[in-house]
Amino acid sequence: MPMSDQSADQPTGPELRSLLHELVRFETELWDAIESRVRADHGVPLGNYEVMTVIAGQPGCRVQDIAAALSITVGGVSKIVDRIEAAGHCARRANPADRRSSVIELTPPGVRILAALTATVEDELERRLGPALSAHSLATLTHALARLRTAVGAGDSADDGAGEEEEAS
């Protein structure tokens, strides 16, 4: 019996492994290149930039919000926020809606360094990725990666749900 078009179009294990290897190496190489430039130009790790970007974009930002936005642990975020705060680039204040948590805000020096970091990151991205991608290709790749992240997250949710059902029986 012939395979349906849908199943014939499904990627195979070796193709998916190849994608994983390419994605991991791409992310590592790009992160390392941008990290090197950001540290050289500003003396700040790239992880700080990522966290500060979330803080700047989310009023009332909490550690949990950053962890969710960046798909990293609350403990990891807390340590990065501690370092950013020690550098004078952010401040914590009591959360008026929930005294058990803090709200994190960029300080004026934090706003200034974030603007400088953003310019450096954008310059490095344009230098490294700009020649390789048209605007259309970039939009297509960005959309595909967002779909893949959604699929991975859905797989996590399905795994979590399956475990709960097994425990309930």
Confidence (pLDDT) at 7: 66
- E strands present in 49-161: 90-94, 102-106
- Listed by start position, the domains of the chain span 21-133
Place of tokens 């078009």: 5
Fold designation for 21-133: Arc Repressor Mutant, subunit A (1.10.10)
Q: Residue 166: is its pLDDT beyond 50?
A: no
Comparing 3-17, 18-32, 128-142, the range with the smallest average pLDDT is 3-17
pLDDT > 90 fraction of the chain, expressed in percent and rounded: 78
pTM here is: 0.81
Per-chain mean pLDDT for the chain: 89
C-alpha 60, offset from chain centre: 19
Three-state DSSP class for 120? Answer: helix
Confidence (pLDDT) at 30: 97
pLDDT band at residue 165 using 50, 70 and 90 as cut-offs: very low
Place of tokens 């953003």: 118
Backbone angles phi, psi at 103, to 5 degrees: -100, 140
* CA torsion through residues 63, 65, 67, 70, sign: negative
- E strands present in the chain: 90-94, 102-106
Q: For residue 5, what is the enclosing H or E element?
A: helix 5-9
Write the pLDDT tens digit of every residue in 49-81.
Answer: 999 999 999 999 999 999 999 999 999 999 999
* CA torsion through residues 78, 80, 86, 87, sign: negative
Write the pLDDT tens digit of every residue in 130-140.
Answer: 999 999 999 99
Question: Are 104 and 90 a contacting pair, CB within 8 Å?
Answer: yes
Tell me how far apart the alpha carbons of residues 145 and 23 are, in angstroms, rounded to a whole number: 10
Regarding predicted confidence, which is higher, 102 or 156?
Answer: 102
β-partners of residue 105 are: 91
